[in-house]
Amino acid sequence: MEDVQESRPDWAQVSPGSPALKNYWGQWDRLKRKEGVLYRELESDSGNSVMLQLIVPKKLQQEILTQAHNHRLSGHLMAKKTLGRIRDKFYWSGYRRSVENWCRGCDQCASRKGPSKKFNAELKQYGSGHTMQRCAMDIMGPLPKSTRGNRYVLVIADYFTKWTEAYPMADMEAETVARLLVEQFICRYGVPDELHTDQGRQFESELLTHVSVARHQQNKNDTIPSSI
């Protein structure tokens, strides 16, 4: 990422590249170069300000993780707090998963928890007995930017009816996903008993928070599904 051109390269140039390269290409308009250093713009939770996250090259990511979690002043915080500490200043493609894996593999954290007995449970296929009993949600992208500035697609499907809906979105932040989930899906079809997503526990936690806020703004009295 050291040689950054001023204009976005064609998708044909990027498509053979790595998932990380495609991710940065999809966020091109949010990348800013300042004094020769590459940053990513991130809007604050309040929406009143924009902060800059330093894009961390792969060779320095382990050092950032060590300082944010393992350093004696960091206190071996849980993944959620470690992620928040990194998110305030740094960014790289897949950093959420990097933090979760790093904290999960921390020997000192594991020793505090003590040994855990593992059970090999039988794999089961869970069915659905009625509409909206179980829905699945996934995110496609990044894709070539549309004329409306969208790069991702939020896909929600009902397990029972196989009914699937897709919603375009400019980014894949939890707040954006929550707004579409509430305004475009829940307000039309109701609250699913279960909502399954493979985006990771940290993302799901943030999503649930933003869904609660969005639901409150809609003045609805439905219960947010606890299984998100």
Asked if the model's pLDDT at residue 201 lies above 70, the reply is no
The tokens for 109 are 């954290």
CA distance 185 to 181: 5
Identify the CA nearest to 65 among candidates 16, 98, 37: 98
Identify which has the larger pLDDT, 218 or 156.
156
pLDDT at 198: 77
Average the pLDDT over 10-20 and give the result.
86
pLDDT at 115: 60
Average the pLDDT over 31-55 and give the result.
86
pTM of the predicted protein model: 0.46
Low-confidence winner among 24-28, 85-89, 110-114, 173-177 (lowest mean pLDDT) = 110-114
Q: Which amino acid is at 135?
A: C
pLDDT at 216: 59
pLDDT at 73: 60
Give 22-68 as a 3 state SS string.
HHHHHCHHHEEEECCEEEEEEECCCCCCEEEEEECCHHHHHHHHHHH
- What domains appear along the chain, each with residue ranges and CATH number? 11-112 (1.10.340.70), 134-211 (3.30.420.10)
Name the average pLDDT for the chain: 81
Asked if the model's pLDDT at residue 119 lies above 90, the reply is no
pLDDT at 226: 44
Asked if the model's pLDDT at residue 4 lies above 60, the reply is no
Give the whole-number percent of the chain exceeding pLDDT 70: 77
Asked if the model's pLDDT at residue 152 lies above 90, the reply is yes
Low-confidence winner among 26-30, 33-37, 100-104, 113-117 (lowest mean pLDDT) = 113-117
Asked if the model's pLDDT at residue 69 lies above 50, the reply is yes
